[in-house]
A and B are shown apart, each in its own frame.
Chain A
Amino acid sequence: MSFLSYLIKGISLGSVYSIIALGYTMVYGIAKMLNFAHGDVIMVGGFVIYTLMSLAGINPLISVLAAIVICTLLGVTIEGIAYRPLRKASSLAVLITAIGVSYFLQNVALLVYGSNPKSFTSVINVPALKLADGKLTITGETLVTIPLCIIIMVILNLFIKKSKVGRSMIAVSEDKDAAVLMGVNVNKTIAITFAIGSALAGVASALMFSTYPNLSSTSGAMPGIKAFVAAVFGGIGSIPGAMIGGVLLGIIQILSSAYISTQLADAIVFLILILVLLIKPTGIMGKKLHEKV
């Protein structure tokens, strides 16, 4: 029974990774860049909820919605100020800028909120579910996280496959120059991609800090890196890949910390990433690259 409980905990954590990984994978798939500041947007979302809910006493739902809106605006602003001017620059320049933005956000948070970690109050007020005579407990956070994650995935997939912006995204990801000549607004499409990814970061911040309530200026960085690993693991650029990669990563992390060692859990996660990349360099759902002769 304890295995089942760990498994559910793993899926729940993995669902959060999936939502974060979507932001990485969509931005990479469409704008061909790695937005390493994505994890820190989650941290900002966490502080927004903390400030509104714990300090100002505003209703949790409104605080979460405000965090989603602020994260969305932040993502679009970062793209507009830091990445858009570098559209024609080398990918290395963009990568370094992304790292710069990441440290900028961390240090602003440090300046505003100080270095003492804040305790985040859960925004989810759902009673835990007790099964099998109380031997298996599923927390309220898990009960909300997993279905929400599935709903987000379904809506996002339908949106990309069957809407104007979705088609523009695929067109931009394949051939920016041809897309612009067909009247597709490339800058707007990339901005919307950042907006969606950052809105999801806002959702992820509410879910993640409700389960792991330790909030500090660096608390977005590690989940960000792990979600990036999940995206690569699943095949970067692929939306179902981000979902599968995220859930697998969550399960691996929880199971290895339960059965092997808590200290080694992260090491095992990254070891598995290395192994996957050695065996299947494009990730689980990644496309095979055929070399044309």
Chain B
Amino acid sequence: MEMLSVKNLSISFGGLRAVDSFNITIQKGELYGLIGPNGAGKTTVFNLLTGVYKPDSGIIILDGENISGKSPIEINKAGIARTFQNIRLFKNLTVLDNVKTGLHNQYKYTTLAGILRLPSYYRTEKLMTEKAYDILKVFDLDKEAATLSANLPYGKQRKLEIARALATNPKLLLLDEPAAGMNPAETEELMKTITLIREKFGVTILLIEHDMKLVAGICEKIFVLNFGMELANGLPQDVLNNPEVIKAYLGE
């Protein structure tokens, strides 16, 4: 079963072909790594997949649905969620409220019910809180639910971003450098968490990462991007031993 199928995706900024004929097929439940040197276009690929940028050409099919050219909110509804390279939590909201914000696309009550505190308000908010706690427990953040997200330590902020993205109930989760700035112990723990959420939520994952140990350790397949183009694509051991890849990363 294909979860994501991207064909000939391209975008240019001025004269620069930032992403050039990008093709990828991700199977349901797969954990795919997207790597490449700085400036290779990895985050641009994420921005294209989530609708932040409109592609110049190409087709994106998510679970059988053509989402190319749709707006970010439609794509989120279709089932793609993401985290950011630089943490972009809602700093003035608590840990719990950050996750509840992610749940907004699934729970409804009217604004008037919220102002007048009608029974539907209490019922829905209670369900959201329970659901949010379930997600926070997976990330071991439930004890910090009432903390302002800005006051969390760095490693936990990274985890909360993943929790918030998962709360939107995605089919495909895009993680943009989840281990950036983490120490080895935190990275180790993150690897376990990523493996766990894949099993528990049955979500397909595409992750950008620089930490080779993390990529090789958990990804089933790896895609290497260089100057916006495919350099290698396949199983980790093949890709990481590919002389072209070594050249792109380490020079000749």
Contacts and interface: CB of A to CB of B under 8 A. Distances in A.
B73 A166 contact: no
B21 to A, nearest CB: 25
A164 B132 CA distance: 13
Interface stretch (A40-48, A173-181, A201-209): A173-181
Interface residues of A, number: 26
Contacts of A159: 114-115
Given A163-B125, A164-B109, A168-B101, A181 B90 contact: no
Contacts of A179: 90, 101
A181 B82 contact: yes
Interface string A165-189: 1111011001101111111111000
Interface in B99-145: 100-102, 104-105, 107, 109, 111, 114-115, 117, 121, 124-125, 128
B132 to A, nearest CB: 11
A155 interface: yes
A117 to B, nearest CB: 35
B105 A175 contact: no
B50 interface: yes
B101 A167 contact: yes
A171 B90 CA distance: 6
Nearest to B107: A164
A88 B46 CA distance: 22
A17 to B, nearest CB: 22
Nearest to B80: A181
B104 A178 contact: no
Contact of A185 (B50, B73, B117): B73
B72 A180 contact: yes
A162 B114 CA distance: 9
B101 A182 contact: yes
Contacts of B91: 174
Nearest to A175: B88
Contacts of B117: 158
Given A163-B114, A178-B88, A171 B168 contact: no
Contacts of B167: 182
B90 A164 contact: no
A166 B92 CA distance: 12
Nearest to B93: A170
Contacts, number: 80
A192 interface: yes
Contacts of A192: 111
B77 A171 contact: no
Nearest to A183: B105
B245 interface: no
A183 B102 contact: yes
A168 to B, nearest CB: 6
Nearest to A155: B115
**A159, A164, A174: most-surrounded residue (chain B CB, <10 A):** A164
Interface string B49-89: 01010000000000000000000110011000110100010
B52 A181 contact: yes
Contact of B52 (A166, A168, A177): A177
Given A163-B121, A164-B109, A184-B101, A171 B72 contact: no
B20 interface: no
B126 to A, nearest CB: 12
A192 B77 CA distance: 21
Interface of B: 50, 52, 72-73, 76-77, 81-82, 84, 88, 90-93, 97, 100-102, 104-105, 107, 109, 111, 114-115, 117, 121, 124-125, 128, 164-165, 167-168
What are the 4 closest A-B residue pairs judged by CB atoms, nearest first? A183-B105, A163-B114, A178-B88, A183-B76
10 contacts: A163-B115, A166-B114, A168-B101, A168-B104, A174-B91, A175-B90, A181-B81, A183-B104, A183-B105, A184-B73
Given A159-B114, A167-B100, 6 more contacts: A163-B125, A174-B90, A180-B76, A181-B81, A184-B73, A185-B73
